[in-house]
């Protein structure tokens, strides 16, 4: 049954009515003041059912509004007071912007105080986002300590304190470990390139590793490259790295050798062509070494590009000429021993010449010839050199003869002393030659006793030939076989002084392979 209720307000000569939902009518407070006049409402039958008669209150709108107004004012007053208290409480419970700023300043001050207490200078951290609590900052410092970094290391790059342990440090170190970078190298790695802790593995690190592999660096060699030169992780792929490689290929470095070159000396990837590589190559060319020979030198010893041209290479070349190395021979000296360009050379030249001068009276001109024949003489240690000189004197050679032998064959000062003794014993007991033969050909000591000296001497002795040591030894095995077919010894085939051949630099290197040992003797002293 649908129930409708009609309410009305009496006005002179006019009756207004409107229909409302019964639900609304039932919500009207049933309050009947005694002074009001009741007007019967129309009753309505629907489907045989009769509604009960209700009375509308004259001036209902006014009366109910008055009551509602009275109630609403009372409720509003109470609600207002409650909301006012809540608003007041809410305003005071939330910190203002000024309070928040002051709190941040106070937190940072506490963090700075902690850093100072452990010896870290926080002056460079003012613009850096740092942990708000001392506990988090202590966690970062402790983690860096576990990696082997000292307070001094942190002070050298305090921005590392802005790296989160979980978000930055651990993901980067895990990635490096998975590549094969040894944990034992992490400390040195981070000392050289702490910026890696700010890097994104996906965006920054992985693309560089992929690029290195694209340069024919073997996957197993990538971690060694990173250990040698961690700074490479910060380079742009299309910048210095690509141009330096392209230039090396352009001057003749074999494309298949690039991977080995970069593995031995990855610092090339950070060198600018116009400022470093090209001027170096052109200077070496001007010394008299052909460009292709320079390329071969770089394939074998790429680290020579790291020798400073102005502050090291050029002064060393001048020092060589100052010590009587002929200008036309400088190229041969450099080609034989490229590392000579990277030493602080002049003090070595002075010390070595003084040693030879005081022991066997070698003049500066003779010393220059020695350097031309064996540039490594500048790296010989004093004690072993004196032992070799004493051995030759004990063999019966005079100081003048020793000087002549050493000047003619400086290698005598660097050979294995025990092997020299065996060779000399065989020379005396089996070959029965005069000492003058050794003075004339001191390179005798440089040949293998069992592989060369004995078999050749036995053949010559069997044939009854008499020859000099130079004619006997200073030739290849094939050439020696040819000589054994001669009826007589050709004077034109007498020995020549062994010398370095520049053409050997341009020979094929197909049978050569890179070894870690190649780097071990790059700057060591000879014994």
DSSP 421-468: HHHHHHIIIII---HHHHHH-GGGGGS-IIIIIHHHHHHHHHHT----
Cβ neighbourhood burial of 418 (10 Å; 0-12, 13-18, 19+) = exposed
CB 434 within 8 A of CB 471: no
Q: Are residues 322 and 407 in the same domain?
A: yes
| Domain end call among 399, 414, 429 | 414
Q: Are residues 329 and 368 in the same domain?
A: yes
Q: Is residue 66 part of a domain?
A: no
pLDDT at 75: 53
Q: Are residues 401 and 425 in the same domain?
A: no
Q: Are residues 398 and 450 in the same domain?
A: no
Write the Ramachandran bin of 130: left for phi over 0, alpha for psi from -120 to 50, otherwise beta.
beta
Q: Is residue 525 part of a domain?
A: no
Where residue 324 sits, what CATH number does that domain have? 1.25.70.10
| Domain end call among 383, 414, 445 | 414
Q: Is residue 351 part of a domain?
A: yes
Q: Are residues 438 and 379 in the same domain?
A: no
Q: Is residue 365 part of a domain?
A: yes
**Cα-based torsion angle of the residue sequence 110, 111, 113, 116 in order, rounded to the nearest 10 degrees:** 180
Chain-wide mean pLDDT for the chain? 81
Q: Are residues 377 and 350 in the same domain?
A: yes
pLDDT by residue, tens only, the chain of 527 residues: 444 444 444 444 444 444 444 444 444 444 444 444 444 444 444 444 444 434 444 444 434 444 444 444 445 455 455 555 544 445 455 667 777 777 778 888 899 999 999 999 988 888 788 888 899 999 999 999 999 999 999 999 999 999 999 999 999 999 999 999 999 999 999 999 999 999 999 999 999 999 999 989 999 999 999 999 999 999 887 776 789 999 999 999 999 999 999 999 999 999 999 999 999 999 999 999 999 999 999 999 999 999 999 999 999 999 999 999 999 999 999 999 999 999 999 999 999 999 999 999 999 999 999 999 999 999 999 999 999 999 999 999 999 999 999 999 999 999 999 999 999 999 999 999 999 999 999 999 999 999 999 999 999 999 888 889 999 999 999 999 888 887 655 544 444 554 666 767 766 555 454 444 444 444 445 44
Q: Is residue 387 part of a domain?
A: yes
Kindly provide the residue ranges of all beta strands, DSSP E only, lying in 258-387, ordered along the sequence.
Answer: none
Q: Cβ neighbours of residue 393 under 8 Å, at least 6 residues apart?
A: 399, 402
Q: What are phi and psi of 47, to 5 degrees?
A: 55, 40
pLDDT at 509: 53
Q: Are residues 425 and 482 in the same domain?
A: yes
pTM for this prediction: 0.71
| Domain end call among 397, 414, 431 | 414
Q: How many CB atoms are located within 10 Å of the residue 461 CB? A: 13
Q: Are residues 336 and 407 in the same domain?
A: yes
Q: Are residues 370 and 401 in the same domain?
A: yes
Helix axes 382-394, 345-360, angle to 10 degrees: 20
Q: Is residue 369 part of a domain?
A: yes
- As given in the structure block, the two tokens for residue 147 are 């990696």
Q: Are residues 438 and 353 in the same domain?
A: no
Q: How many CB atoms are located within 10 Å of the residue 12 CB? A: 4
Q: Cβ neighbours of residue 208 under 8 Å, at least 6 residues apart?
A: 232, 233, 235, 237
Residue closest to 161 by CA, chosen among 149, 177, 173? 149
- As given in the structure block, the two tokens for residue 419 are 């092997």
Range of the domain at 488: 421-492
Q: Is residue 341 part of a domain?
A: yes
Helix, strand, coil share of the chain (percent; to 5): 65, 5, 30
Q: Are residues 408 and 446 in the same domain?
A: no
DSSP character string of 232-253 = GGGS-IIIIIHHHHHHHHHHT-
pLDDT at 10: 46
Q: Cβ neighbours of residue 392 under 8 Å, at least 6 residues apart?
A: 401, 402, 405, 406, 412
Q: Is residue 311 part of a domain?
A: yes
Number of domain units in the chain: 2
Q: Are residues 385 and 427 in the same domain?
A: no
**Integer Cα distance of 232 and 225 in angstroms:** 9
């Amino acid at each position: 049954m649908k129930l409708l209720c009609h309410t009305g307000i009496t006005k002179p000569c006019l009756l207004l009515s409107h229909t409302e939902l019964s639900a609304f009518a039932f919500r009207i407070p049933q309050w009947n003041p005694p002074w009001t006049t009741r007007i019967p409402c129309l009753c309505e039958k629907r489907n045989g059912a009769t509604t009960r008669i209700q009375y509308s209150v004259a001036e209902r709108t006014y009366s109910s509004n008055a009551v509602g107004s009275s109630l609403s004012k009372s409720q509003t007053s109470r609600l207002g007071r409650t909301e006012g208290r809540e608003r007041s409480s809410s305003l005071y419970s939330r910190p203002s912007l000024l309070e928040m700023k002051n709190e941040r300043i106070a937190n940072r001050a506490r963090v700075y105080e902690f850093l100072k207490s452990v010896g870290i200078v926080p002056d460079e951290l003012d613009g850096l986002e740092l942990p708000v609590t001392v506990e988090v900052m202590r966690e970062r410092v402790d983690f860096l300590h576990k990696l082997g970094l000292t307070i001094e290391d942190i002070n050298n790059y305090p921005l590392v304190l802005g790296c989160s342990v979980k978000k930055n440090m651990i993901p980067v170190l895990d990635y490096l470990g998975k590549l094969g970078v040894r944990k034992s190298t992490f400390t040195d790695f981070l000392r050289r390139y702490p910026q890696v802790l700010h890097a994104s593995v996906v965006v920054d690190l992985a693309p560089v590793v992929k690029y290195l592999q694209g340069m024919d660096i073997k996957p197993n060699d990538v971690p060694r490259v990173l250990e040698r030169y961690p700074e490479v992780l910060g380079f742009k792929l299309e910048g210095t790295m690509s141009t330096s490689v392209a230039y090396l290929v352009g001057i003749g470095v074999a494309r298949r050798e690039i991977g080995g070159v970069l593995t031995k000396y990855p610092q090339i990837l950070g060198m600018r062509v116009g400022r470093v590589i090209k001027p170096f190559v052109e200077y070496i060319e001007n010394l008299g070494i052909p460009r292709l020979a320079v390329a071969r030198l770089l394939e074998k010893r790429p680290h020579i590009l790291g020798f400073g041209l102005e502050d090291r290479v050029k002064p060393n070349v001048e020092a060589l000429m100052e010590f009587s190395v002929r200008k036309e021979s400088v190229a041969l000296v450099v080609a034989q021993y490229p590392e000579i360009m990277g030493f602080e050379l002049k003090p070595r030249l002075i010390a070595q010449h003084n040693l030879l001068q005081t022991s066997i009276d070698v003049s500066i001109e003779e010393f220059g010839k020695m350097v031309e024949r064996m540039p490594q003489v500048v790296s010989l240690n004093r004690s072993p050199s004196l032992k070799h000189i004493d051995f030759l004197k004990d063999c019966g050679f005079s100081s003048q003869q020793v000087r002549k032998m050493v000047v003619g064959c400086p290698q005598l000062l660097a050979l294995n002393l025990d092997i020299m003794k065996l060779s000399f014993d065989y020379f005396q007991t089996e070959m029965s030659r005069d000492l003058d033969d050794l003075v004339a050909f001191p390179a005798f000591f440089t040949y293998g006793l069992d592989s060369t000296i004995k078999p050749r001497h036995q053949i010559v002795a069997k044939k009854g030939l008499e020859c000099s040591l130079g004619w006997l030894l200073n030739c290849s095995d094939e050439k020696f076989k040819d000589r054994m077919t001669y009826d007589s010894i050709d004077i034109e085939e007498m020995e020549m002084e062994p010398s370095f051949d520049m053409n050997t630099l341009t020979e094929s290197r197909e049978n050569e392979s890179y070894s870690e040992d190649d780097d071990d003797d790059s700057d060591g002293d000879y014994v």
